[in-house]
Structure 1
Amino acid sequence: MTVPALFVAHGSPALAVQNNAYARFLKELGSRLPRPRGIVVFSAHWDSPDQCVDVDEQHITLHDFYGFPEEVYTIEYPAPGDPAIHNEIFSLFKLHNLHTRPVQNRGLDHGVWVILNHMYPEADIPVIPLSIDSRRSPKEQYMIGGMLSSLREQDIMIIGSGGLVHNLRLLRETEEVESWAAAFDDWIGEQLETWNLKQLFDYGKRAPYAHEAVPSYAKEHFAPLFYAMGAADHDRSAEKLFQSYDHGCLSLNCWMFGTF
Structure 2
Amino acid sequence: MPNDLIHDPNGGMPRLLEIMRRLRDPETGCPWDIEQDFASIAPYTIEEAYEVADAIEREAWDELEGELGDLLLQTVYHTQMGEERGMFSFDSVANAISDKMVARHPHVFGDESRDKSAEQQTADWEKIKAAERAAKAERGTLDGVAVGLPALTRAVKLQKRAARVGFDWPDTKQVVDKIVEEANELEEARETLGEAEVKEEFGDLMFVMANLARHLNIDPEEALRAANAKFTRRFEAIEEKLAANGKRPEDSNLAEMDALWDEAKHAEKS
Between structures 1 and 2, the one with greater helix share: 2
Between structures 1 and 2, the one with greater strand share: 1
TM-score normalised by L of structure 2: 0.22
Larger radius of gyration: 2
TM-score normalised by L of structure 1: 0.22
